[in-house]
Structure 1
Amino acid sequence: MANEQMKPIATFLLLLNFCMYVIVLGIGAWAVNRAIDHCFIIGSELKLPAHFSPLFFPMGNAATGFFVTFALLAGVVGAASTLSGINHIRSWTAESLPSAASVATIAWSLTLLAMGFACKEIELHIRNAHLRTLEAFLIILSATQLFYIAAIHGVAAYIS
């Protein structure tokens, strides 16, 4: 590719994003496990509550279920996009760029969606420290994933 000096920056961002996506997966998995352990127990004689949601989470607020679900989705796709990114950085050719860029863009889109639910959760106020950490990681990831996409495209060559 034309812009070889972007390769170390892209490598750093790829590794940073991978580590952050793994942390998002860990915190999201904890939240799902806690929701499963502390969810509604409905017996044969009991009825569902009036505002029952299958995405009920005992911690947080009304946006928590959607937030954690999309955070897990973004984490899985983001961590998996690392495979294509590693292949692209190893070869650093125009032929490997489209697959790496497309998977990274899909991961970024899902990260933005999860970040939107994080913003809604911040607006509703009730959440614990784990959820605040997950929100922070997704907000940071939305920027670093965009920078990674720009780096693999070699944006510095077009700016200068």
Structure 2
Amino acid sequence: MGVRSVAGLLLFLNFCMYTIVLGIGSWAINRAIDHGFIIGPGLELPAHFSPIFFPMGNAATGFFVTFAMLAGVVGVAAAISGLNHLRHWDAGSLSAAATAATISWTITCLAMGFGCKEIELHIRNSRLRTMEAFMIILSATQLLYIAAIHGAPSTSRI
């Protein structure tokens, strides 16, 4: 199996996982909006109001979901850039794909850190556990994808 096909397989896997993260994160944000703080008739905020309060998790859930959603959006964009690189497989498309993948990986690692904090605090539901697991797996597979596209010799068109 060539490096190009390994990169393609990792790219497809990452795209699917980032899409699932976006779906679960969207559910979490929708639930937080629907079941968060209710502003009273006098339009006064409650004493302990937080704009990232999530009723289904713990203190780290808001940060985790926010950064996981950001990682998901950037990850899907990086997958689109990576698809263009797989199609051309030359030095000209490598820089865009590698840059997008690296930015996606760093945001994914940040979200994974908040996911680890959320695991440490214990109170969360099964969907959040799934999203945590996906962020941990994505931090590894995205790094492998970056190594795969850098490890292969690419042809340059002059």
Short-chain TM bin? over 0.9
Asked if 1:25 corresponds to 2:22, the answer is yes
What percent identity do the matched residue pairs reach?
72
- What amino acid is aligned across from residue 144 of structure 2 in structure 1? F
Question: Match for residue 67 of structure 2?
Answer: 70
**1:94 deviation in Å?**
1.0
Query: Which residues of structure 2 form unaligned runs of 5+?
Result: 154-158
1:42 Cα deviation from its structure 2 partner: 1.3
Decide whether the 8 Å contact of 2:39 with 2:46 is kept in 1: no
Report the alpha carbon displacement of residue 60 of structure 1 after superposing the two structures with TM.
0.4
TM-score, with structure 2 as normaliser:
0.92
Tell me the CA shift for residue 47 of structure 1: 4.4
Paired residue for 1:118, among 115, 123, 148? 115
Equivalence for 2:56:
59
Q: Does 1:14 align with 2:11?
A: yes
**In structure 2, what is the Cα distance between the partners aligned to 1:79 and 1:47?**
39
Q: What TM-score, normalized by structure 1, do the two folds share?
A: 0.91
Give the match for residue 97 of structure 2: 100
Q: Match of 2:36?
A: 39
Contact 2:25 2:68 in 1 (8 A): yes
CA RMSD of aligned residues (A): 1.6
User: In the TM superposition, what is the alpha-carbon distance from 1:5 to its structure 2 partner?
Assistant: 2.5
SS of 1:153 mapped into structure 2: helix
What whole-Å deviation, never above 9, does each CA across 1:58-88 have from its counterpart, x for those lacking one? 1100110010000000000001111110111
1:138 maps to what in 2? 135
Aligned position for 1:84: 81
Point out where structure 1 has 5 or more consecutive residues left out of the alignment: none
Q: Counterparts of 1:93 and 1:54 in 2: how far apart (Å)?
A: 45
Q: What whole-Å deviation, never above 9, does each CA across 1:111-155 have from its counterpart, x for those lacking one?
A: 000000000100111000010000000000000000000000016
> What code does the residue aligned with 1:129 have?
S
